[in-house]
Structure 1
Amino acid sequence: MNYTLHQLQIFLEIVEKRSITKASEALFLTQPAVSIQLKKFQDQFPLPLTEVIGRQLYVTAFGEDIAKAARRILDEVATIDYRTKEYQGKLAGKLSISVVSTGKYVMPYYLSGFVNMHPGIDFNMDVTNKQKVVRDLEENRVDFALVSVLPENLSLQQLPLLKNSLYLVGGSERERNRKGKKETIFKEQPLLFREKGSATRNAMEAFIYEKNFPVAKKIELTSNEALKQAVIAGLGYSIMPMIGIRNAVEQGDITVIPYKGLPIHTQWNIVWLTNKKLSPAAKAFIAYLEENEQAIKKKYFSWV
């Protein structure tokens, strides 16, 4: 056996992503480079690690076992690095956070000062849907999560960061050409929704249910950015958080439509499991947020 740590990292990324293309994107490598390293790694084993059926890559049972061992090896290597930095008096360790997709407009501003202050900390931010965020918390895969609606089934500690406001919006060109009163939008116009489980979708559906509006046509999109572009293109109307569309509103691409009962106000919160034993790096991050969250809000989000 003569595999390298680099090959272990690549194989682990392939196992987690179930795709050479997605693994190469995550690792900032070319697809051929990832494929070559996977082949070199595979050549050192008598049994297949992966198999391709149709166009889908699958990890074999043997491959899953090797991935578990690879994860343990890489964790131990990281521990050596962290211990070295700690002996040098530096804060070191891993920090992981799962963020709902709209949270990508918020979280980097609360992270940058801390991460730049402590270069010995390795940081991972997974931007995903609400269901996976809750699952990551539930299975203790991450230190923290950023959510606008607290999961009801988990015992959590929370630190409020920023107000989140959702407005009725439409593409400016479509809105200029729309006929009739705005009260007819929910009854006559196509409505654009996020995927099921999204906090944005839940808020929009709750508003429609409360008002007992019959929905004429429903279009579903699986990311906030896709939803924003669909609104700009004039596909229909939606209820969206201002944090993700502010630039488009200021540029005149999206029009905010005043409507009774809107905006809907929620709160961005950093949350973690109540019984989780936080690492020194995680504790330092919470202390940093408690001390600096008002200054960060004033510097970057005074418009909220």
Structure 2
Amino acid sequence: MNYTLHQLQVFLKITQTQSITKAAEELHLSQPAVSIQLRNLQNQFEIPLTELVGRRLYITDFGKEIAIAAEKILNEVYAINHKTLAYKGQVTGRLKISAVSTGKYIVPYLLADFLKLHQGIELVLDVTNKAKVVETLEQNEVDFSLVSVLPDKPQVEQEPLMENKLFLVANGEVDVKGKAFNMQIFETLPMIYREGGSGTRFITERFIQSHNLPVRKKLELTSNEAVKQAVIAGLGYSIMPLIGIKNELQQGDLQIIPVEGFPIKSQWSLVWPKNKSFSLPASSFLDYIKKEKERIVQEKFGWINKY
């Protein structure tokens, strides 16, 4: 057997994504390069690792066994690398974080300087919706999660970071200058929603229900970016987190509609399961956030106070 660590890494990613195309994207390789690595690995086994049915790739039972072994081997290699760096006095290991989708506008700034200080840390970051973030917490798959709404389950501890403000927004062509609206405005507006399971959707629905607002839902879209483009195109209005529309507000593509009772407020927090045992990278990151969060928020997000 002459398989390489790179071949194992590529094959493991193929089994995780069930796709050569997706594996190539996540590994930042070309599709032909991934196919070559898979073929070279397959040539060392008499039993098929994968099979193609129609256009869909399937992992054989034997391939699944090899993937399990490959993951163990790669984890051992990571451990060796981390131990080597640890003997040099560096904080090493994996730091796993999940973040709700709108958190992508925040989490890079929380991590940038920390990772520069500790170059031996390997970051695993998953940006997804609120429901999946809660699932990663429940399964203890991550060290921390960035959320704008605290989950009911599991029980978590938190480090508050900054205020989350949500406003009713329209495209830049709507004439609202000098006007102020009460909540009855929602009777006439075609509203664009985030998908079920998102934190923005949860906050929006909680506000609407608590004020018994008569809302007309026109569209439901699966990302903050999709909602922004739909509003800019004039397809409707939406309640959106301020953190994700800075550029569009400055460029005049979007505008805030002044409505009584707004903005809706929640809080961005870093959370983790109660009584969680931290790895060295995780405890170092939490210490860093506690010391540096006020500086980061002021430097990177001070503009929020203008709204």
State the 4+ residue runs in structure 1 displaced beyond 6 angstroms. none
Shift of 1:218: 2.4
Q: Which residue of 2 aligns with 1:202?
A: 202
Q: Which residue of 1 aligns with 2:175?
A: 176
Q: Which residue of 2 aligns with 1:25?
A: 25
Q: What fraction of aligned residue pairs are identical, expressed as a percent?
A: 54
Q: How many Å separate the matches in 1 of 2:196 and 2:190?
A: 17
Q: How many Å separate the matches in 2 of 1:183 and 1:27?
A: 48
Q: Which residue of 2 aligns with 1:111?
A: 111
Shift of 1:270: 0.9
* 2:60 is aligned with 1:60: yes
Question: Which is further off, 185-194 or 120-129?
Answer: 185-194
Q: Which residue of 2 aligns with 1:96?
A: 96
Give the letter aligned to residue 71 of structure 1.
Answer: E
Q: Which residue of 1 aligns with 2:40?
A: 40
* 2:231 is aligned with 1:228: no
Instruction: List runs of 5+ in structure 2 lacking aligned partners.
Output: none
Q: How many Å separate the matches in 1 of 2:61 and 2:195?
A: 32
The answer as to whether partners of 2:183 and 2:260 remain within 8 angstroms in 1 is no
Q: Which residue of 1 aligns with 2:237?
A: 237
Question: Which is further off, 264-273 or 32-41?
Answer: 32-41
Q: Which residue of 2 aligns with 1:5?
A: 5
Q: Which secondary structure state, in structure 2, belongs to the residue aligned with residue 269 of structure 1?
A: strand
The answer as to whether partners of 2:218 and 2:236 remain within 8 angstroms in 1 is no
Deviations 1:196-218 (A, max 9, x none): 11010111122222333333342
Give the letter aligned to residue 242 of structure 1.
Answer: L
Deviations 1:176-233 (A, max 9, x none): 39xxx77554223321111111010111122222333333342111111111111111
The 1:81/1:237 distance shift into structure 2, 3 A limit, reads: same
The 1:158/1:217 distance shift into structure 2, 3 A limit, reads: closer
Shift of 1:57: 3.0
Give the letter aligned to residue 176 of structure 1.
Answer: D
The 1:211/1:58 distance shift into structure 2, 3 A limit, reads: farther
Shift of 1:44: 2.3
The 1:49/1:215 distance shift into structure 2, 3 A limit, reads: farther
Give the letter aligned to residue 18 of structure 1.
Answer: Q
Shift of 1:54: 4.0
Q: How many Å separate the matches in 2 of 1:52 and 1:185?
A: 55
The answer as to whether partners of 2:171 and 2:233 remain within 8 angstroms in 1 is yes
Query: Could you state the TM-score of these two structures normalised by the residue count of structure 1?
Result: 0.93
* 2:161 is aligned with 1:161: yes
Q: How many Å separate the matches in 1 of 2:225 and 2:88?
A: 43
Instruction: List runs of 5+ in structure 1 lacking aligned partners.
Output: none
Alignment of structure 1 residues 75-86 onto 2, 5 Å: 75-86=75-86
The 1:23/1:271 distance shift into structure 2, 3 A limit, reads: same
Give the letter aligned to residue 262 of structure 2.
Answer: L
The 1:68/1:184 distance shift into structure 2, 3 A limit, reads: same
Shift of 1:253: 0.4
Shift of 1:140: 1.6
Alignment of structure 1 residues 124-163 onto 2, 5 Å: 124-163=124-163
Shift of 1:50: 2.8
Give the letter aligned to residue 18 of structure 2.
Answer: R
Deviations 1:229-283 (A, max 9, x none): 1111111111000000011011110010111222111111111112321111111
Question: Which is further off, 79-88 or 34-43?
Answer: 34-43
Q: How many Å separate the matches in 2 of 1:176 and 1:61?
A: 62
Give the letter aligned to residue 137 of structure 1.
Answer: L
Deviations 1:103-126 (A, max 9, x none): 010011110111001111111211
The 1:287/1:33 distance shift into structure 2, 3 A limit, reads: same
The 1:201/1:53 distance shift into structure 2, 3 A limit, reads: farther
The answer as to whether partners of 2:183 and 2:213 remain within 8 angstroms in 1 is no
Give the letter aligned to residue 32 of structure 1.
Answer: P
Q: How many Å separate the matches in 1 of 2:168 and 2:225?
A: 16
CA RMSD of aligned residues (A): 2.1
Shift of 1:72: 1.0
Q: Which residue of 1 aligns with 2:190?
A: 190
